[in-house]
Amino acid sequence: MVMQRADNSGSSLRFYWRKAVSVTMYVLSGLSALVAIIPLVLIFYYTLSLGLSAINVDFFTQLPKPVGESGGGLANAIVGTLVLVGLGSCISLPVGIMAGIYLSEFGNNAFGMAVRFLTDVLNGVPSIVTGVVAYTMIVIPMGHFSAYAGGVALAILMIPTITRTTEEMLKIVPQSYREAALALGISHWKTSLRIVVRTALGGVITGIMLAVARAAGETAPLLFTALNNRFWHTSLDQPIASLTVFIYNYGVSPFDDWIAQAWAGALVLMLMILVLSVAVRVATRSRFEER
């Protein structure tokens, strides 16, 4: 109604109304950014305050104590997580890096497109499903839970991240580097490995660290592959402890002592992942500044 009136006061009212809407919407969007930060701050606050009060030297050096005995630590779980991520890396690194090289250097065809698409699809597969697959593929034939099965489940999760970041990073390497090397008579495969991969090595390592960080935080694929173990593992053929599965088991337990240790475990896990992602951030930033 206001708009239809041609006099000045009406249109200026309309103008101020539109201005007000603009400012309000921008304030609302700023508020939603603030609201999104709140859970992050709260999660950090609770993990830090509850985790710190339960953390001590024993936590890193002792085995879990039986129910009713206080104290003890999760040393075997920390080592177990490292072993599982190491196993996952052993399987996923060659596959991921080589597939990434293929996609970047030779993948400009229908097969390359298909692999690229399926890698993205694999990236979206729920982690619990990879656990089920590792169970049917390894645990059932072997007849028991094992660190190997857990490593395979984690590897399936790591492959797409490594493949896609390797591809993206190799693609950043200028085409002229390849041409210069080939013009000097260096064979194609040496160009790929010694020139292209080496130039993009920082980026490739970034991708690997991202995948490692994600795998270290996974619980669901380990629940029925690596299972859990309250003692040191003596071989990779056995169930093995992991930080995440311990956090889950202890977190839902009725014992205050265990719940406190679950928070300490969460803190250690978060610190591991935080260090990795900050390192990635610093590595990528310096790379972009160079360019």
Min dist CB 55 to another protein, Å, is: 15
Give the number of other Cβ atoms within 10 Å of residue 291's Cβ.
6
By beta-carbon proximity to another protein, the closer residue of 135 and 203 is 135
Min dist CB 79 to another protein, Å, is: 18
Min dist CB 2 to another protein, Å, is: 16
Min dist CB 259 to another protein, Å, is: 8
SS3 labels along 97-154: HHHHHHHHHHCCCHHHHHHHHHHHHHHCCCHHHHHHHHHHHHHHHHCCCCHHHHHHHH
Min dist CB 156 to another protein, Å, is: 7
Q: How far apart are CA 25 and CA 195, in angstroms?
A: 50
By beta-carbon proximity to another protein, the closer residue of 40 and 183 is 40
By beta-carbon proximity to another protein, the closer residue of 203 and 250 is 250
**Residues sharing a CB contact under 8 Å with residue 56, sequence separation 6 or more, in sequence order:** 73
Helix (H, G, I), strand (E, B) or coil at 64: strand
By beta-carbon proximity to another protein, the closer residue of 78 and 156 is 156
How far is C-alpha 229 from the geometric centre of its chain's CA atoms?
24
By beta-carbon proximity to another protein, the closer residue of 22 and 70 is 22
By beta-carbon proximity to another protein, the closer residue of 171 and 214 is 214
Min dist CB 286 to another protein, Å, is: 14
The Cα-based distances of 249 to 64, 127, 153, 158, 235 in angstroms read 12, 18, 20, 24, 23
Min dist CB 258 to another protein, Å, is: 11
By beta-carbon proximity to another protein, the closer residue of 37 and 201 is 37
Q: What is the dihedral of CA 283, 285, 288, 289, to 10 degrees?
A: -110
Largest CA distance in the chain: 88
CB 242 within 8 A of CB 222: yes
Closest-CA residue to 243 (of 71, 51, 69) = 51
CB 147 within 8 A of CB 83: yes
By beta-carbon proximity to another protein, the closer residue of 201 and 271 is 271
Token pair listed for 98:
């080589």
Min dist CB 274 to another protein, Å, is: 8
